[in-house]
Chain A
Amino acid sequence: MTDMNANDPLLQEVSGPSPSQILIRRVVTHQGLMFGLAVVLLLALVALFAPLLAPHDPYAQNLLARMKPPVFLGGTWEYPLGTDHLGRDYLSRLIYGARVSLMIGAIAALISGFIGTALGVSAGYFGGKVDAAVTFLINVRLALPVVLVALAVVAVMGGSLQIVIMVLGLLLWDRFAVVMRSSTLQIRRREYVAAAQAIGASTPRVILSEIMPNIVNNLIVVVTLEMAHAILLEAALSFLGVGVQPPTPSWGLMVSEGKKMMLFDAWLVLIPGAVLFVLVLAINLMGDGLRDVTAPENRS
């Protein structure tokens, strides 16, 4: 019988690609993920090399060259995207604005990620009273109106980059806590966690070497989504006049400043808003894409 089956077409299995090959193929063929990754990378490079890329000093005012239109509206290449009401080069301010947005987004997401992960993992791992306490904290946090609280704190403590970052970091941990809690709950029930506990591994060790590696995918997804959230909120706060203070180039602030001249020069509002939209869109697409390619149900 074995000889008979040796080269039977019924039993011929095509040897499949390895798991890492599958993952790479999934990443490369995921249009949203690739688009998001490319845009975020590009803007990160722009932010990093802002001093080299910006044609002008973003703070330099030139009262003789105020409100120059961008090239596509009849302007000159001297100021490719025109100048604002103080004669500052719009393109240079946009380029430096990428620094502000990305820095605020990344640091706020790190802070809130740290808080939320610590809370969520302990809630999921220890359960019982710890879980009840964390769930309560999440409820309290969700009840607080983010924009209003951030506005109030920034108003009381003064608007600076550091304070905006701290406020956002301290406010946006809820989704981390919720996702990390449920992911930890799932992993905690697995046999290998029980096995690690059985051989006498300490609690921190079990959490770090058994739990964390298995929930890090979800963590990365939330980090990207919350980074986008933080960037949007910073822009909204700056737009309302209580975020990053002038003359720092922030995209939200640029929209706010352009608003006064919107009637005749809508581009002052359209350009920074569009860049903000594209960056947030790209980060979200990256996050959604990462979720798609690493979701356990997609794993073979």
Chain B
Amino acid sequence: MTEPLLTVRNLKLDIPVASGTLHAVRGIDFELNRGETLCIVGESGSGKSLTSLALMGLLGKRILRKADQMTFDGTELTTMSAKELRKLRGGRMSMIFQEPMTSLNPAYTIGDQLMEALLLHQPVGRAAARARAIELLEKVGITAAESRLGQYPHQLSGGLRQRVMIAMALMCGPELIIADEPTTALDVTIQAQILRLLVDLTREMNMAMILITHDLGVVARVADKVAVMYAGELVETGPAADIFATPCHPYTRGLLRCIPLPGKTERGSELGTIPGIVPSLVGEVEGCVFRTRCDYAEAACREAIPHRTNGAHRFRCIHPDGMRHAEEVPA
């Protein structure tokens, strides 16, 4: 097997706060092959967005990043100079953000901002950049692309702006695209369109994608791999098929109970909820972070938790099968 496009080993993100250190992300590992789609799921505050910003090197100055390994196509990202990293950003890896309404610069036209993405990385003229911008605007389904180039962001709707953001991310033909809840801020009808577009384009252009979302319905449709984050930890990760067929971590199963699945959820039956709140991550955390909300918590959960591996499917729980047998519906 070839080397993965992206490898992350033991990534830690710490934020100094008034009452100590907030361990926002605590030692996560994952890898991603070319052309694959990895979905990172989890509640708000679980560290998904921070993880994606850490990959792009876009963390705020206050946040400390540590990792044993973080390689993109064999190059270590943590030791890279700012200049080399800039070459990578927007060139070979690019990002789409959650807030299309505010992610475009209000002072410049769509065309200027699209062309800038290409001109920063490739030695092409403005005419070529303009042609590429039109090509991509058409590709993301914007009609009358040429006339849009002269418009300002405030003249476009949220859905259109997110399409522009996607076009901008694709300007240099990246190998990896990170989309951080790209549809959360949009109308429900637009959400599906944008997501479809994103997935189609990644397949067509053979890009790897990290899609951050809390929508498991979306994950079920698009993911090759799934990583479930809870309170700064990756509690379960593996091929999408395995995760959905045999979810091992009690938290993953809790999440899955929260969504209606066609054919699986009975009409009229109640959807699940996970009671309790996410614990504070300030200070050292011993043992399993989910124990305060877990139905199967025991005294041993406060001690070191083993990593359990089944091929590419990994999870962390003191119970060998994450107590899956207790919930197995008798066939």
A interface list, Cβ under 8 A from B: 1, 4-5, 8-11, 13-14
Asked if residues A8 and B292 are in contact (CB atoms below 8 Å), the reply is yes
Question: What are the residues of chain B within 8 A of A10 when measuring CB–CB?
Answer: 279-280, 285, 289, 291-292
The minimal Cβ–Cβ distance linking A25 to chain B, given in whole angstroms, is 12
Question: What are the residues of chain B within 8 A of A1 when measuring CB–CB?
Answer: 294-295, 297
Asked if residues B280 and A13 are in contact (CB atoms below 8 Å), the reply is yes
Q: Which of B286, B292, B299 sits near A11, CB closer than 8 Å?
A: B292
CA A11 – CA B294 in complex, angstroms? Answer: 14
- Tell yes or no: B302 within 8 A of A by CB: yes
What 4 pairs between A and B have smallest CB-CB spacing? A10-B279, A4-B297, A5-B292, A10-B292
CA A236 – CA B299 in complex, angstroms? Answer: 76
Q: How many residues of B contact A (CB 8 A)?
A: 14
CA A14 – CA B19 in complex, angstroms? Answer: 9
Smallest CB-CB separation from A12: which chain B residue? B280
Smallest CB-CB separation from A14: which chain B residue? B19
The minimal Cβ–Cβ distance linking A21 to chain B, given in whole angstroms, is 15
Question: What are the residues of chain B within 8 A of A11 when measuring CB–CB?
Answer: 279, 292
CA A1 – CA B294 in complex, angstroms? Answer: 8
Asked if residues B19 and A8 are in contact (CB atoms below 8 Å), the reply is no
Contacts A/B (CB < 8 Å), 17 sampled: A1-B295, A1-B297, A4-B291, A4-B292, A4-B297, A4-B299, A5-B292, A8-B292, A8-B302, A9-B302, A10-B279, A10-B285, A10-B289, A10-B291, A10-B292, A11-B279, A14-B19
Question: What are the residues of chain A within 8 A of B295 when measuring CB–CB?
Answer: 1
Question: What are the residues of chain A within 8 A of B286 when measuring CB–CB?
Answer: 9
Question: What are the residues of chain A within 8 A of B280 when measuring CB–CB?
Answer: 10, 13
Most buried by B among A1, A9, A10, A13: A10
* B268-304 contacts to A (CB < 8 Å): 279-280, 285-286, 289, 291-292, 294-295, 297-299, 302
Question: What are the residues of chain A within 8 A of B297 when measuring CB–CB?
Answer: 1, 4
The minimal Cβ–Cβ distance linking A292 to chain B, given in whole angstroms, is 17
Smallest CB-CB separation from B285: which chain A residue? A10
Question: What are the residues of chain A within 8 A of B298 when measuring CB–CB?
Answer: 4
The minimal Cβ–Cβ distance linking B194 to chain A, given in whole angstroms, is 33
Question: What are the residues of chain B within 8 A of A4 when measuring CB–CB?
Answer: 291-292, 297-299
Question: What are the residues of chain A within 8 A of B294 when measuring CB–CB?
Answer: 1
Smallest CB-CB separation from B290: which chain A residue? A10
CA A4 – CA B295 in complex, angstroms? Answer: 10
Smallest CB-CB separation from B299: which chain A residue? A4
Smallest CB-CB separation from A4: which chain B residue? B297
The minimal Cβ–Cβ distance linking B156 to chain A, given in whole angstroms, is 28
CA A245 – CA B316 in complex, angstroms? Answer: 84
The minimal Cβ–Cβ distance linking B281 to chain A, given in whole angstroms, is 9
The minimal Cβ–Cβ distance linking B58 to chain A, given in whole angstroms, is 25
Smallest CB-CB separation from A5: which chain B residue? B292
The minimal Cβ–Cβ distance linking B317 to chain A, given in whole angstroms, is 16
CA A100 – CA B259 in complex, angstroms? Answer: 74
Question: What are the residues of chain B within 8 A of A13 when measuring CB–CB?
Answer: 280
The minimal Cβ–Cβ distance linking A218 to chain B, given in whole angstroms, is 27
The minimal Cβ–Cβ distance linking A228 to chain B, given in whole angstroms, is 33
Smallest CB-CB separation from B296: which chain A residue? A1
CA A4 – CA B289 in complex, angstroms? Answer: 13
CA A14 – CA B302 in complex, angstroms? Answer: 20
10 other A-B residue contacts (CB within 8 Å) besides A4-B292, A8-B302, A10-B291: A1-B294, A1-B297, A4-B299, A5-B292, A8-B291, A8-B292, A9-B286, A10-B280, A11-B279, A13-B280
CA A5 – CA B301 in complex, angstroms? Answer: 11
CA A150 – CA B294 in complex, angstroms? Answer: 74
The minimal Cβ–Cβ distance linking A22 to chain B, given in whole angstroms, is 12
Smallest CB-CB separation from A9: which chain B residue? B286
CA A14 – CA B298 in complex, angstroms? Answer: 24
CA A5 – CA B286 in complex, angstroms? Answer: 14
Smallest CB-CB separation from B284: which chain A residue? A9
* B103-150 contacts to A (CB < 8 Å): none
CA A179 – CA B40 in complex, angstroms? Answer: 46
The minimal Cβ–Cβ distance linking A198 to chain B, given in whole angstroms, is 33
Question: What are the residues of chain B within 8 A of A14 when measuring CB–CB?
Answer: 19
CA A166 – CA B250 in complex, angstroms? Answer: 75
CA A5 – CA B299 in complex, angstroms? Answer: 10
The minimal Cβ–Cβ distance linking B323 to chain A, given in whole angstroms, is 14
Question: What are the residues of chain B within 8 A of A5 when measuring CB–CB?
Answer: 292
CA A9 – CA B292 in complex, angstroms? Answer: 10
Question: What are the residues of chain B within 8 A of A8 when measuring CB–CB?
Answer: 291-292, 302
Question: What are the residues of chain B within 8 A of A9 when measuring CB–CB?
Answer: 286, 302
Question: What are the residues of chain A within 8 A of B291 when measuring CB–CB?
Answer: 4, 8, 10
The minimal Cβ–Cβ distance linking A258 to chain B, given in whole angstroms, is 51
The minimal Cβ–Cβ distance linking A15 to chain B, given in whole angstroms, is 12
CA A14 – CA B294 in complex, angstroms? Answer: 23
Smallest CB-CB separation from B278: which chain A residue? A10
CA A208 – CA B256 in complex, angstroms? Answer: 53
CA A1 – CA B291 in complex, angstroms? Answer: 9
The minimal Cβ–Cβ distance linking A17 to chain B, given in whole angstroms, is 12
Most buried by A among B280, B294, B295, B298: B280
Question: What are the residues of chain A within 8 A of B19 when measuring CB–CB?
Answer: 14
The minimal Cβ–Cβ distance linking B173 to chain A, given in whole angstroms, is 43
CA A13 – CA B294 in complex, angstroms? Answer: 20
CA A10 – CA B285 in complex, angstroms? Answer: 7
